[in-house]
Amino acid sequence: MLNELLALLQAGGVHRVDDLARELDTTPGLVELMLEELARLGYLEPLTQPCSAACEGCAMSGLCAAGTGSRGWAVRNREQGDKETGR
C-alpha cells in the first residue's frame, strides 16, 4: 500500500487525503500515517510554506496554498530517499 501511495504521489498534482484513501481502499487516517512514513524515509520532502505578514490582510488568502491548509511535498527518487535515511 505504501508503494501504491508513493506511485500516486509520483504522478504529481493535487490530491485530497479522502481521494487517496478511496483509491487505496483504506482510511484517511492510514493515508496520513503513510505520508508521514514516506517523509520520514526520505521519499517525500516537505516543501515549507513561507509565511508573510502580507497574508494577514490579503483578500485572496483563502484562495492560495497558504490559506487552504494544503501541504506540499517534492517526491524524491530512491537514491535521494536512501541518502536521507543513511542507507
Are the beta carbons of 67 and 55 closer than 8 angstroms? yes
Interface with other proteins, residue 39, by CB under 8 A = no
Instruction: Enter the C-alpha cell of residue 59.
Output: 483578500
**Site membership for other proteins, residue 41 (CB under 8 A):** yes
CB-CB contact of 61 with 67 (8 Å): yes
23 counts as binding other proteins under rule CB under 8 A: no
Shortest distance, position 23 Cβ to other proteins, whole Å: 13
CA 58 to chain centre: 25
47-76 residues near other proteins, rule: CB under 8 A: 47-52, 54-75
C-alpha dihedral over 35, 37, 42, 47, to 10 degrees?
Answer: 30
Least distance to other proteins, CB of residue 87, Å = 5
d(CA 57, CA 73): 27
Which residues contact other proteins (rule: CB under 8 A)? Answer: 1-3, 6, 9-18, 20, 24-27, 29-30, 32-35, 37, 41, 43-44, 47-52, 54-75, 78, 82, 85-87
